[in-house]
Structure 1
């Protein structure tokens, strides 16, 4: 169901908001273009996270697969690279949360992020404890644990400042679009490939749960429009 929720958040909320906020900021600055700038920025965010993931995988000599991280991420440098990659990933996710303008959106995104981030924390924690000292492992886990919060703080500050400056509105739109690319990556490169095996025996059950998650998000979006 978490796949459907995050898919719904991305399709029904983050992408439309990125387009609306970026285009509105351009108009407030007297700028207009027929080029789909938000789409370019979302794609840039996707490839930014993809490059980080590829560098982490290349350094570890493996593809980024949650099932084999336990066995292959044994070098000290490999653990540090993993921490950097996952922390950068979490920073942009937190940034997306901080850029939201309503409390309901903040809590919804926070809940969805926590669901899929728990697995990463478990994998990285066990890998670190197998390779590093207890102190080093604690430092790595601390860095990873605060990365999302740092992103939220940055996004919140930028969102607050943007109310006083059209240029900051554009900054919010740009960062919002880039961070949305992070969620595109999470959905299509991590959750869908690993959580939706259409050839498995319980594939129908999985698809139904994903559809339920998406339906829940669609209902929330409809209620938000009605109440607004």
Structure 2
């Protein structure tokens, strides 16, 4: 029992430090100049990673968990309830975003609806000018669409998912299972942390907010793992159904952000179309390979 607890605590520390490091390193790309073109392609790689994480990991896992829980509770309904929960999460973000945009339509940069076509001055021919920094005097429309609110919604969705990933590790009762699941989550979360960091850098968030969001995201899996450890040490009433509901809604928000925010934002450039698509396919293939290897 002590060796199992020691393994969990070691995994908890790893799940905190490595994703935190991977999330903070891309902050060195904030500079303008030659880094702009390179960072734009890295953003497309990140888009492919989020596409794979959405369709191959988060959505199928949440649907499978919900169906399994309904079956274990012997609940039979002639209605696609897991898909309904996912759609509720999708619509929740849609409604909240448009309420916020409607209330702040006079504020520049936040009033452009996500689904609208790009309007305004043409984008610069040089991708190096796409770099967004606090205090810059020019913001192309495509980057204004990457609002701070949407970045926060993405952060919230990923954080909820990371919380449940950590909870899954903390609830294991075998040391081998703890190490196996932790290694998979560690690779997955580190890649996601780097991608989230790049997308936050493309938003108009301050340096303090950036560090706070990345730090909070890094803490989510260890927090969930700590809750799981406490639950195994002190068994109590199960709240699996509530967990499945929250995870399903988080998956819905992830679908919204992936398909209506990240991919349109990264691919909505008239220049370097094929290299951008290839970069997105590279990110998708990398995450798909990790998923295939378990």
User: TM-score normalised to the size of structure 2?
Assistant: 0.57
Which residue of the other structure, out of 33, 50, 54, is the alignment partner of 1:10?
A: 54
Please state how far the C-alpha of 1:121 moved relative to its aligned partner: 5.4
Q: How do 1:103-142 and structure 2 match up within 5 A?
A: 103=182, 104-120=184-200, 123-126=203-206
Which residue of the other structure, out of 152, 157, 167, is the alignment partner of 1:92?
A: 157
Q: CA RMSD in A?
A: 3.5
Secondary structure of the 2:250 match is: helix
Tell me the equivalent position of 1:187: 258
Please state how far the C-alpha of 1:142 moved relative to its aligned partner: 7.2
Return the alpha-carbon distance in structure 2 between the equivalents of residues 212 and 122 of structure 1.
Answer: 20
Q: Structure 1 residues 168 and 157 mapped into 2: Cα distance closer, same or farther (>3 Å)?
A: farther
Please state how far the C-alpha of 1:173 moved relative to its aligned partner: 1.4
Q: Structure 1 residues 48 and 110 mapped into 2: Cα distance closer, same or farther (>3 Å)?
A: farther
- Larger Rg: 1 or 2? 2
Contact 2:155 2:196 in 1 (8 A): no
- The structure where helix makes up a greater share of residues is 1
Please state how far the C-alpha of 1:119 moved relative to its aligned partner: 4.0
Tell me the equivalent position of 1:223: 293
Secondary structure of the 2:239 match is: helix
Please state how far the C-alpha of 1:24 moved relative to its aligned partner: 1.0
Q: Structure 1 residues 166 and 203 mapped into 2: Cα distance closer, same or farther (>3 Å)?
A: farther
Tell me the equivalent position of 2:177: none
Deviations 1:153-192 (A, max 9, x none): 6654666678767852222211111111121122111111
Q: Structure 1 residues 41 and 172 mapped into 2: Cα distance closer, same or farther (>3 Å)?
A: same
Tell me the equivalent position of 1:207: 277
Q: Structure 1 residues 158 and 181 mapped into 2: Cα distance closer, same or farther (>3 Å)?
A: farther
User: TM-score normalised to the size of structure 1?
Assistant: 0.71
Secondary structure of the 1:99 match is: helix
Tell me the equivalent position of 2:244: 173
Tell me the equivalent position of 1:130: none
Please state how far the C-alpha of 1:23 moved relative to its aligned partner: 1.0
Which residue of the other structure, out of 65, 73, 79, is the alignment partner of 1:35?
A: 79
Show structure 1 runs of 5+ residues with no match.
72-81, 127-136
Deviations 1:108-131 (A, max 9, x none): 1353244234443564444xxxxx
Secondary structure of the 1:35 match is: coil
Q: Structure 1 residues 157 and 34 mapped into 2: Cα distance closer, same or farther (>3 Å)?
A: farther
Secondary structure of the 2:293 match is: helix
Deviations 1:81-130 (A, max 9, x none): x877754542332010121233223541353244234443564444xxxx
